[in-house]
C-alpha cells in the first residue's frame, strides 16, 4: 500500500509541473519511469536551490545561517553529481524536463529577485522560509521514491538524501531559533 501511495504522490507532483510525462527510460535496466522522474525532479530542485544558498553568503545577518548555507551548497552540488550519475547509468540524456518548471519547494526567479534586495534579519526570515520549503519538498519526493521506485540504487540514494534533508531541516530549525 505504501508503495502505491508513494507512486501516486510522485505522480501528482510531476503532473503539477508538466503536462508532458517524464520520458520512459529506454534500455535502462532496472530503472523505472518513477526512478527517472524522481532523479530528474530532485536534480532540478538541487540546481534551482544553489543560487538561493549562494545569496546567504553576503546577505544573512546570522553567521551560522550563512555558514550552514555554504555547507549545504557544497553538499547539494555533490548530491546533483550523484543524481546525474544515476541518470547516466539509466541512460537518460538530454535536457531535464523539470529544469524550467516552478514546482513546490523550488525557489523561483521571483523569489530570488525579491530575496536579493533584502539584507540582515529581513533576509534571514525569508531565506529560512524558502529553504525550509525546499528541504521539505526534497524529503517528500525522496520518500515517494523510496516507496515507489524500482531501481535499488535510486531507492538507496533517496533514502540517504531523505535522511540528509531531515538532518538539514533539524539544523535549520536550530539555527533559525536563534535568528
CB 154, CB 35: distance < 8 Å: yes
What's the pLDDT score for residue 8?
36
**Strand locations in 115-173 (E):** none
Q: DSSP label at 94?
A: S
> Strand, helix or coil at 60?
strand
CB 134, CB 107: distance < 8 Å: yes
Residues 6 or more apart whose Cβ sits within 8 Å of residue 76: 46, 49, 50, 53
Helix (H) or strand (E) holding 73: helix 63-89
- The answer to whether the predicted template modeling score (pTM) of the entire model surpasses 0.75 is yes
What's the pLDDT score for residue 178?
60
- Distance between CA atoms of residues 87 and 72, nearest Å: 22
Which class in CATH covers the domain with range 2-176?
A: mainly alpha
DSSP code per residue over 98-121: TTT---TTPPPHHHHHHHHT--HH
- Distance between CA atoms of residues 36 and 145, nearest Å: 10
CB 139, CB 169: distance < 8 Å: yes
pLDDT in tens, the chain (179 residues): 444 334 434 443 444 444 334 443 333 348 999 999 999 999 999 999 999 999 998 889 989 999 999 999 999 999 999 999 999 999 998 887 777 778 888 899 999 999 999 989 999 999 999 999 999 999 999 999 999 999 999 999 999 999 999 999 999 999 998 64
What's the pLDDT score for residue 169?
96
What's the pLDDT score for residue 130?
96
What's the pLDDT score for residue 43?
94
Amino acid at each position: 500500500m505504501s508503495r502505491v501511495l508513494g507512486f501516486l504522490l510522485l505522480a501528482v507532483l510531476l503532473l503539477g509541473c508538466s503536462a508532458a510525462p517524464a520520458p520512459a527510460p529506454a534500455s535502462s535496466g532496472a530503472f523505472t519511469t518513477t526512478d527517472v522522474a524522481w532523479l530528474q525532479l530532485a536534480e532540478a530542485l538541487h540546481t534551482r536551490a544553489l543560487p538561493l544558498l549562494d545569496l546567504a553568503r553576503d546577505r544573512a545577518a546570522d553567521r551560522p545561517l550563512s555558514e550552514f548555507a555554504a555547507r549545504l551548497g557544497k553538499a547539494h552540488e555533490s548530491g546533483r553529481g550523484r543524481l546525474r550519475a544515476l541518470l547516466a547509468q539509466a541512460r537518460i540524456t538530454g535536457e531535464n524536463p523539470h529544469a524550467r518548471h516552478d514546482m513546490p519547494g523550488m525557489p523561483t526567479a521571483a523569489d530570488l529577485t525579491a530575496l536579493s534586495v533584502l539584507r540582515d534579519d529581513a533576509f534571514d526570515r525569508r531565506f529560512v522560509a524558502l529553504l525550509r520549503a525546499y528541504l521539505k519538498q526534497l524529503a517528500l519526493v525522496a520518500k515517494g521514491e523510496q516507496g515507489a521506485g524500482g531501481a535499488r540504487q535510486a531507492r538507496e540514494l533517496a533514502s540517504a538524501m531523505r535522511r540528509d534533508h531531515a538532518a538539514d531541516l533539524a539544523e535549520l530549525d536550530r539555527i533559525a531559533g536563534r535568528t
